[in-house]
Amino acid sequence: MTVGGRGPRGGNDRFPLPLRLATVLLGIGLLALLFAVVIRLAPSTRTAAAPTGTPAPGASGTGLALTHDLSRPIRHAVVLVPLDDFPADRATAIRDRLAADYRLPISVAESLSIHDETFDPASNQLVAESVVDELGALHPEWQGGVLVIGLTTTDMRIEGRPDWRFAFSYRVSDGVAVVSSANMSVLLDFGEGARWNRFGKMVLRQVAFLYYGLQPVTNPDDLLYNTILSTGDVDRIADHL
């Protein structure tokens, strides 16, 4: 055999053996590169799965990205109770939003006048514990698994926390809560939007804790943050679960 000699037509001796091997390897490399490009450009049909136990974004029907497991509520309904001069249209707006966002079985009851029974003239505030006691007596459905939330515009304090000048909300694990809008406005606010957005967050917190049975968290951006002491805290937390 002569290196570089010509053999029969169609033979593999057109080039010396090392050069032939290099050519074959180069061809294989080009084919592999072409295949990789085709695969890269092809549209993907894979979908990302939501983490176990967490509803996928939009599971509420409104496109909200839910971050808490809302699949096992500990109560079966929610009733909002306007107290004294709380505006009924505001209670209705809160009901409609929560029903739309979370498919929540929620209603608005008739307004109650409990100011005289629960007001402390010395501090010029409602006493939260007295409000919850009165509300629970007038709406005993909490005993049957309904969450009862009172809504008030009057300033409120918690008797058991004398170190606090006021309270945004107060709840008991039996399923009764009250939320006050009195201290949810600040001097730099323009209009009522910020005030009622804060109020809506505080109502949703009661729903989270007492209807869904969720626990407080340490993330200061989460709606369920465990330490809410100012309007700044309320503004920072999320407005959805």
User: What is the tens place of the pLDDT at every residue in 1-25?
Assistant: 322 233 332 323 233 334 344 444 4
CB 131 within 8 A of CB 152: yes
Which CATH superfamily is 77-236 part of?
Collagenase (Catalytic Domain) (3.40.390.10)
**Residue 213 confidence (pLDDT) above 60:** yes
In which band, very low, low, confident or very high, does the pLDDT at 241 lie, cut at 50, 70 and 90? very high
3-state SS class at 97: helix
In which band, very low, low, confident or very high, does the pLDDT at 128 lie, cut at 50, 70 and 90? very high
> Residue 171 pairs with which residues in a beta bridge?
177
**pLDDT above 90 coverage of the chain, percent:** 68
**Residue 34 confidence (pLDDT) above 60:** no
> Residue 108 pairs with which residues in a beta bridge?
80
- Name residues whose C-beta falls within 8 Å of residue 109's C-beta, 6 or more positions apart in sequence: 79, 80, 81, 82, 139
Model confidence over 48-97: pLDDT tens digits? Answer: 222 223 333 333 344 455 679 999 999 999 999 999 999 999 999 999 99
